[in-house]
Structure 1
């Protein structure tokens, strides 16, 4: 298990942050930062709900472009990230990842680039979405780092299920973890997510890969 201390954190500084956009969603890249990342299956949220969410988010972003104050960033996550989490935990869609061998394909894909393109931290694979903690080993945006894992797992899962087409939503959500205290909160969130969503044993995967030391 990898040990994470305060020395593993890069001080957050808007002047050092690179801002990229995919589908109007801002992605913040800070070299050396640790991220909380979420990606979901294509049917994990009802289409009408996803459209309403996107419209509200787009309007808010037009009024509040980055850089943000810490309070504005908290408001963004309160309005949109947390709202999406509630939809995901409701268990909408086919929830293919309830099946163990399909979850293993996701995990194999995530492990493949661990130590090569990122250090992989705690992981939870829910029936229709995935949360991970990770630390990129290059300045590549996190949304691109997740591309190979999502692509490889999608191909194998489609082969196993006899389906074709899109498996994952193209967009992923990534949030820079700003402190050791925040990292502890995200770890607790990942660990508690299956129970909070009312999942039974065997319908999810959880692994703690980082130990935190307050040094």
Structure 2
């Protein structure tokens, strides 16, 4: 496994960090397969654990403020996951609250590590522009059907799109953070489809896999980046 914690050898930290990462992946698979007891407690644990473990993994790698912000974003996301599983009528509000906080942390992280405008690849700008165009179109189409949730859901859509845009403007690797943010967008788009359209059951698998892979890629993109400016150079996309 590639050492991402530091250039110095820290075998114990590497070992436990690797275990936590593997446990996170296993937990994500267990949740997707629903291989856990059918109780509320187990459901909450199974839903929140995969991304929460990524947050713990980020803390094992803690060296800078960026890593702390990443961990906070992951823990807020895990809280959003749990919120969506709560047995309340307004559970969507709890989920949106958690993910909104997570996206604010992500935006802060990406803006702290933004590229100069003249250094931005065209593909990144195109993706950011496309995300805003799609959000605008969907908001217009769904506005009348959202009822009393109009402002909450549209507000979340704006925050999500802001996160995607900031990710594209960041100096983190496009193939990890850039694509990860797009997968987050796709996952939430399928959630909207499940809520307002008749999407088939397999779309739930797309939602979970794209969401977890988004969090995984963003985490890896931030943690593998060295401290020097050259860490952000990806020849294919710059």
| TM-score, normalisation: structure 1 | 0.30
More helix by share: 2
**Which structure has more RCO (C-alpha within 8 Å, separation ≥ 6)?**
1
| TM-score, normalisation: structure 2 | 0.28
